[in-house]
Amino acid sequence: MLPGTDPTVETEGTPLFARFARWVERQVGRSLTFVLAIAVVLVWAVSGPFFGWSDAWQLVINTGTTIVTFLMVFVIQNTQSRDTQGDAAEARRVDPRQ
């Protein structure tokens, strides 16, 4: 493989979104992030009685999770595409006939 052709290695020339997607991927994969997500849901659930279990109270968690899910689709797609390119590059390195 030629230097600088591995799509899984980040360099100064790596596009900004690709670097951002890798950073988000690393952060989301941490156990602390999962604990933080649980804490947010618990705070939201505990705040229910203070807001009278209102529609607006429910809309907060629904909107938040929808936005996060929507954005994560693009981050996941970007990281998977680069990982697939890296796997293909590695396969070509091992067996140049591919």
Q: Residue 48 gets which letter from DSSP?
A: T
Cα angle 76-62-55, degrees, rounded to a multiple of 5: 175
Domain ranges in the chain? 18-93
* Whole-model pTM over 0.75: no
What does the pLDDT profile of the chain (98 residues) look like in tens digits?
Answer: 444 445 555 567 788 888 888 898 889 889 999 999 999 999 999 999 999 999 999 999 999 999 999 999 988 888 888 777 776 667 677 776 76
